Amino acid sequence: MSPKQLEDMYDAVIVGAGAAGLSAALGLLNSQETKDLRAQGLDPKVLVISKLQPLRSHTGSAEGGIAASLGNVDADDWHWHYYDTVKGGDWLVDQDAAQLLAQYAPETVINLERQGVAFSRTDDGHIAQRRFGGHTKDFGGEPAKRAAYAADRVGHQILHTLWQQCVAAGVEFAEEWYVTDLALTDDRSRVAGVVAYDTHTGKTHAVRAHNVLLATGGAGRLFHTTSNSWDLTGDGMALALAAGLQLEDAEFVQFHPTGLAHTGILLSEASRAEGGILRNADGEAFMARYAPEHKDLAARDVVSRSVMAEIDAGRGVADPKDPDGPKDCVWLDLTGVDEAHMLTVLPQVVETVKQYANLDPAKDWVPIKPTAHYTMGGIPVTTEGEVYQWADGARHIVAGLFAAGECSCVSVHGANRLGGNSLLDACLFGTRAGSALAARIADDPVDGPMADPDIDGALEQAVDAVKSTRETELNALLAAPTESEEEADPRDDNPYALMAELGSVMERAAAVRCDADSLAEAMAALRGDLAPRAAALSAHEKTAAFNQEITAIWEIRHLLALAEAVLTASDARHESRGSLKRTDFPERDDERFLAHSMTDGEGTVVWQPVRIVDMPPQKREY
């Protein structure tokens, strides 16, 4: 689906149509400001651009639950959720943001239910809730049943519901358009719009806007083993870097403990919440040694490191599909879970194990290993979704530029995200960003009587200049190579091969653990080999329309830029915290590194203090 025609200027362009982008669109359109504008005869001009059909967005793969202190099964309190979020993030969480996350979580879940999300139910008809790693009662006490769920397909339910609500509200979509550039004014103080490539026609478009919101998801494709779909290539974060902006806490990439062996496909944390147990080659339930109180439901970074420690100690097992292969897995034992109950609450897990491992989880132990799952860092934003730059000890807002969801960093996850908090973050802060967008639009609507043509003219020029540069590059990608170019590099390189090589490089350098040598080796591979080869790529098919290789070339370039930022930030943080395990700096160092890394595309890292409200750092134990 493409828009019937592009407007000369939009009030808002939302890039991405997962939970965050769709929540932002609904937050904008359902706001009082939008209602007031419509009463005046002014209908905001809004466009949602997605490189996928929205129902293919990665939100749909979320399985286990969305966290909220509803108290439907256990007594609960949002203050406990707040504490768990701060502790789970190893005290790198901005506590003002975490308070909002926990306090408004119940309202967010109830609103989703009212919009149509079919949550699983308790016997008395309330939204059902289950245990999830790191969620506790009474500030670190016994585990709490806080994750609202829909069997193990809650993301599917939320995505379809939000999309249906957007269709009902008349949201205009540009589907299968790939945003290639974020356009800012020359001084980077204000957004001007985006440049987008229509994959159906092969044409680039200047999409001018007073406001832009980036909601493009994460970057799991940085790693070879990942639970993320093929499309999560860090586009929004790379667009920010290319525009001269910073990324916050790029070094923190979460590995989910239970990826199905050698596929990376996620086996939901719900499998352990329902009674699954991790076992090593000796059959030992080893998490009791690493997290005596919470065992298999400790925070994800704790469990992932424990799995790798067992493998490193020689207590790993081989994938039954490759019995003579490396012993780089452990077992997930679900045989103690009643089979009928398993089929009711974990249908996706059962189907995945049977289809991809040829095993029956009711009878067989299942091989698993950690899989790249979530980027805690991203584009720095306020609690209203406004993108900012950190300089001279202060936040400097980029006027009209917003971000939400996994590509952003409001820092509610800190150094490690708790299960159930990602869908919550996307829906809650996506909605807040949409409301903030509406307030900006109300102050200066495109069709308003006070619109300034000089300002709009300047924004148009900024976007048009970027579009011209991108069109020149596109023509070069489609041009036939000269004989001298062919002789200079006889390899038949392609972006997919480079993605595979990058994934292997990052896996060796930074998967679960790293040190200065591994980071330096990976950086040398990026700068000395992969980046020059990516820069030299051209399309094998010379037709622009429906040419997937064109977008793949841009995706690998985005991934390489983002990989360099991840390695740079990881190298700058001389401590271990949350998901970042530096084997050469094994301890947390609050004196020097209780701060957010702010990394730009030039490799410069500056530090922003963590916002502490009422929870000073403590020792983190499970």
Residues involved in catalysis:
300
SS3 440: helix
**Cα(18)–Cα(214) distance, rounded to whole angstroms?**
11
Residue 369 bridge partners (DSSP): 259
Residue 270 token pair = 């719900």
Residue 122 token pair = 């308790």
**Cα(353)–Cα(363) distance, rounded to whole angstroms?**
11
Contact 256, 244 (CB under 8 A): no
Contact 158, 62 (CB under 8 A): yes
Instruction: Select from 320, 339, 342 the least CA-distant residue to 331.
Output: 320
- Residue ranges of E strands in 449-564: none
What is the b/e burial string over 364-375, where b = at least 16 CB atoms within 10 angstroms of the residue's CB?
bbbbbbbbbbbb
**∠ CA 116-120-121 to the nearest 5 degrees?**
105
Q: How many CB atoms lie within 10 A of CB 394?
A: 9
Half-sphere exposure of 115 (CA within 13 A, CB side): 26
Radius of gyration of the chain (CA): 24
**Cα(305)–Cα(290) distance, rounded to whole angstroms?**
9
